[in-house]
């Protein structure tokens, strides 16, 4: 039986935006979120401030959450997962498991907003000693410190005097298999570098990179201020290894533009880990029977001009479930997915009424 309801899977920035858009267009929506809380990765991974505008992640995501839960047309299901689906565009039947209980939700269209997870530097090899040295951390670990204004060396609890970021960890790497650029890490690392300089003005901050990818306005919203106002040092050259030397970490690499090898002591090393498809993205893609690309992200069926349709009619995807995306792209694709999903259920309503 045809249904006008739209099911959104995932309660992060993409899912919240999609659910809100669908509800605003007057279509009933069910938002299915696996964890006990809405807000997605920015909340679960303790992001301090959002890139690029430095607004508190809790405040910004809180606003998105409020918009959704206050909308009468939205049925939010926390701690819930879609475990099965049949039917076709216009008349899907989804099995939603909440705790031990299963319910069937009828939907005309589905929007997948299951997002990404941070690359694990210990996934295959012990890259840069992430699990070996306490002072080697990742972007999200530093976010958590910045959030509570307590940036200290995990090894001794003292504020660092020298911090470096290592870019492209788990991205742009044929051996690891993630050949893509994760898009956001240059901006996020630079944003965090600025925050470190704000919170610890005496701490020197270095960013070791392959290419700085600061698209569009991020250039003069983050990159230029980081260099010009906060004197963050950008060095083109990727660190090959991190070694322990006394109570310091020695990073080894090449200063390519100066044409010299370098061995620099650091108090903390921050790995700018990239994006990988979340477990939810992988599972949901299989459950719904939609194609994934070679990296496990959901494949858009007709790029570049249709970024949200998938291989199965009636199922749309948005945000970082489709691949690395910043927040701006995430909410944009979420709104596009909502528009396409609503169009689909409305057309069917017109068709049903006419018959």
Partner 1 sequence: MATASALLKLDAAAGFDDVSYEEKARLFDEVRADLRYPEYLYGCYECGICVAACPSARFYDFSPRRIAQAAAREDVELVYQQMQEDIWECSQCFSCLRCPRGNNPGGVITIMREVAVNNGLASARQALEGYSRIIYKIMSTGTQVSPDMLQPDAFPDWGPEVKDVSDNLALWRKALPPETLHTTSTGWDVDPRTLTELYVIWFETGALEMIKEVDEGLYTILEEIMEERLEEEGITP
Enumerate binding residues for partner 1 (CB under 8 A).
223-224, 227-228, 231, 233-236, 257-258
Q: Which pairing describes strands 241-245 and 101-107: parallel, antiparallel, or unpaired?
A: unpaired
Closest approach of partner 1 to the CB of residue 257, in Å: 4
Closest approach of partner 1 to the CB of residue 340, in Å: 40
192/329 with CB nearer partner 1: 192
Closest approach of partner 1 to the CB of residue 119, in Å: 27
257/293 with CB nearer partner 1: 257
Closest approach of partner 1 to the CB of residue 173, in Å: 23
Length of the chain: 355
DSSP string of 87-116? EETTEEEEEEEETTEEEEEEESEEEE---E
Determine contact, residues 52/97, Cβ cutoff 8 Å. Answer: no
35/227 with CB nearer partner 1: 227
Residues 6+ apart with CB under 8 A from 338: 6, 17, 18, 19, 21, 22, 25, 111
Structure tokens given for 36: 């006990």
Closest approach of partner 1 to the CB of residue 272, in Å: 19
Determine contact, residues 67/21, Cβ cutoff 8 Å. Answer: no
Closest approach of partner 1 to the CB of residue 190, in Å: 11
Judged by phi (left if over 0) then psi (alpha if -120 to 50, else beta), residue 172 lies in left
Closest approach of partner 1 to the CB of residue 212, in Å: 8
Can you count the helices (H) and strands (E) in the chain? 9, 18
100/201 with CB nearer partner 1: 201
104/258 with CB nearer partner 1: 258
Determine contact, residues 211/167, Cβ cutoff 8 Å. Answer: no
215/224 with CB nearer partner 1: 224
The neighbouring-strand residues paired with 93 are: 86, 106
256/279 with CB nearer partner 1: 256
Closest approach of partner 1 to the CB of residue 221, in Å: 14
CA pair distance 222, 201, nearest whole angstrom: 17
139 three-state secondary structure: helix
149/231 with CB nearer partner 1: 231
List Cα–Cα distances, 292 to 85, 115, 332, in angstroms: 17, 13, 21
């Amino acid at each position: 039986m045809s249904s006008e309801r739209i099911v959104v899977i995932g309660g992060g920035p993409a899912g919240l935006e999609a659910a809100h858009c669908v509800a605003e267009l007057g279509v009933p929506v069910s938002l299915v979120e696996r964890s006990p809380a809405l807000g997605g990765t920015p909340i679960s991974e303790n992001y301090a401030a959002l890139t690029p505008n430095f607004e508190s992640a809790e405040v910004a995501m809180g606003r998105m959450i409020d918009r959704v839960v206050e909308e009468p047309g939205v049925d939010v299901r926390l701690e819930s997962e879609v475990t099965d689906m049949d039917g076709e565009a216009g008349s899907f039947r989804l099995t939603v498991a909440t705790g031990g209980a299963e319910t069937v939700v009828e939907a005309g269209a589905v929007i997948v907003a299951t997002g990404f997870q941070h690359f694990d530097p210990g996934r295959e090899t012990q890259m840069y000693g992430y699990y070996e040295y306490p002072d080697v951390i990742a972007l999200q670990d530093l976010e958590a410190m910045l959030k509570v204004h307590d940036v200290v060396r995990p090894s001794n609890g003292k504020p660092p005097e020298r911090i470096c970021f290592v870019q492209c960890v788990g991205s742009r790497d044929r051996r690891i298999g993630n050949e893509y650029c994760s898009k956001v890490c240059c901006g996020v690392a630079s944003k965090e570098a600025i925050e470190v300089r704000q919170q610890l003005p005496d701490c020197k901050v270095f960013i070791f990179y392959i290419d700085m990818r600061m698209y569009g306005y991020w250039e003069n919203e983050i990159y230029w201020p980081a260099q010009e106002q906060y004197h963050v040092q950008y060095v083109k050259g990727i660190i090959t290894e991190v070694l322990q030397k006394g109570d310091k970490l020695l990073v080894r690499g090449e200063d390519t533009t100066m044409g010299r090898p370098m061995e620099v002591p650091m108090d903390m090393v921050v790995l700018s880990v990239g994006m990988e498809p979340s477990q939810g993205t992988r599972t949901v893609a299989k459950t719904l029977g939609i194609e994934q690309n070679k990296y496990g992200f959901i494949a858009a069926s007709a790029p570049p001009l249709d970024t949200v349709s998938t291989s199965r009619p009636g199922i749309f995807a948005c945000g970082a479930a489709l691949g690395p995306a910043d927040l701006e792209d995430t909410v944009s694709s979420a709104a596009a997915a909502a528009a396409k999903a609503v169009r689909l259920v409305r057309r069917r309503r017109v068709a049903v009424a006419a018959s």
